[in-house]
Every structure is written in C-alpha cells, then in structure tokens.
Amino acid sequence: MTISTFARETGLSPKALRLYAESGLLLPAHVDASSGYRYYDEDQRPRARRIALMRQAGMPLARIGIVLDEAGTETTGVTRLMQWWREEEAVEAERRGIVDYLRSTLLAEEAPEHRVSSRTVPDRMLASSLVHVTQQDLVPTLVRLRDRLRAHLDADGATRGVEWQVVYHGAVTPDDDGPIEVGVPYEGSTSPAPDIALRVDRSHREAFTPLPAQQCRYPDILHAFDAVEQWVHRHGHRIGPPREIYPVEWDEHPDAGPVVEVAQTFEPDAGP
C-alpha cells in the first residue's frame, strides 16, 4: 500500500506516519529508491493503530518504543504499558492534590491541623552535600546523597545515628532547580571530600511539626510547612530556610508514627 492508502486504512495521517518512521517506530516495508515513495504492508496495520492509540493516551514516542520493543514478549509489553500508566496516575494524583491545595488556600478554608512545637537545638557537626535539583529528581537525589554521606562517615569511623535532614535553600519546582543541602549529624573524626562538606550546625531555636509517612506526600506536606510558618510568624521571625528532618528510618505502616519533622529556625520575640 502507498502511504496515502495505508493512512486511509489506519485512520492516520501521512504526516503521522512520517513521524513514526523518523522515530523508528514504524518503518515503511519498502521505499522506492528512485521516487522515494513509501509503501506499507497489510500486517503493519495493528502496530500502526497501537502506536496511534498510545499517542492519544499521551505516551511519548520514546516510551512507545520501549513498550513495543521487539525483543520483549507481549507480556513484557503489557508490563511496560501498565508501568507507564501507574506513573501517569501518580502524576495526575499529584496534580489533583495541587489543585485541591490551591483551592483551599484561595478560599481560605480550614487546613488540616498540625501540632507545632519549638525546641533548642545545640551545636553539632554536620556532613553535608549541596546540589541543585528539580522536583522530578528530588526524592531519588535525597536518598542518593543521604546514603553517600552515611557511607563516608561509616568508612571514616565517625559516629552517627539514623537522623538526617534536608535544607531547602531555594525553590524546588518542575521549572526551578533550587539548591538543597542534605546533611547527616555526626560525632568523632572524619574528613571532607570533593562532594562532602563538614560544618558546624550552630545552636538555634526551631519550630517543628511531626508527620507520619501518609502526610509527607506532595502537595499534602505543604499544609505542614504553612502551619510551621504561621506559628513562627505569631511567636517571632524566621531565620534561614525551612528544612525537613528525618529522625527515624522511613516506615509507611499506618501505626508507625511520625517519620519526618517539618522545621523552621526562628528567633523568638523578646519578652516584656
């Protein structure tokens, strides 16, 4: 079949078929060497329709190639398809959460209650790494840096617990790769490395609210940041950027209790 006939038979446009050919997803069965005319076989119709349907579902061309990889079986293709869809559902759930958060703030609706407390944190040594990261890469970057810092401290024989933290020195969004600092408190002796700094985390006052794993998902966690910021505004003024503190190992069991603290360093108002 010529490209125009194949396009008519499959409900696709010649433009789309050329795009699929350029991306390597659906090559013509034959290209005339002299005229450059493209020809397709009847048995290419199912693949063409699958590609078109995946495009209608919003799948990028590169991901379609992975799903339809000839090296995989039909079962493998289905696994790859459903993995992509789970990722899309997670993205959609996050978008819905952002819209719900914006709606509640625009309408000044009552936010989820968060118990905010304050404490004094003494001087302590911190091994840290500072990087720029966008929202898409935030979680894997945090885990990678935390594990790198822990391994470095363990190799040098320094003493550390399970606690670690991340300080947001700038905005982290899909468009802004804000600077973040991942730190692990330690005692004893260690040495810096090209990607690891050693510094004193100076004594400070800190407002914080503890959260279980279920409340740590973005954008739900924004309500906790709001609660801490509002508490600080009532009791003093903020100093420095906000942070998340992970005092225990991550545990998503419903009865696990708090696994993270949203915190803000602050200077209390002077007394009368």
> Residue 236 falls within a domain, yes or no?
yes
Task: Give the range among 34-48, 92-106, 140-154, 233-247 with minimum mean pLDDT.
Answer: 92-106
143 & 239 share domain:
yes
53 & 138 share domain:
no
User: How does DSSP assign 113-126, residue by residue?
Assistant: P---EEEEEPPEEE
> pTM for the whole thing?
0.72
Percent of the chain clearing pLDDT 70 (strictly above): 98
Domain of residue 180, CATH code: 3.20.80.10
Read off the pLDDT of each residue in 113-142 and give the average, rounded to a whole number: 94
pLDDT tens string 192-225:
999 999 999 999 999 999 999 988 888 888 999 9
Write down the pLDDT at residue 94: 79
**Is the confidence at residue 11, as pLDDT, over 90?**
no
Give the domain extent around 236.
117-268
pLDDT tens string 69-86:
866 677 888 999 999 999
CA atoms of 87 and 60, how far apart (whole Å): 13
CA atoms of 243 and 24, how far apart (whole Å): 46
> Residue 13 falls within a domain, yes or no?
yes
Write down the pLDDT at residue 71: 60
Domain of residue 57, CATH code: 1.10.1660.10
Write down the pLDDT at residue 105: 81
Q: What contacts 183, CB < 8 A, 6 or more positions away?
A: 126, 127, 128, 129, 149, 164, 165, 166, 167, 201
Read off the pLDDT of each residue in 81-108 and give the average, rounded to a whole number: 86
- Of 263, 272, 269, 270, whose CA–CA distance to 121 is shortest? 263
Specify the number of domains making up the chain: 2
**Is the confidence at residue 271, as pLDDT, over 60?**
no
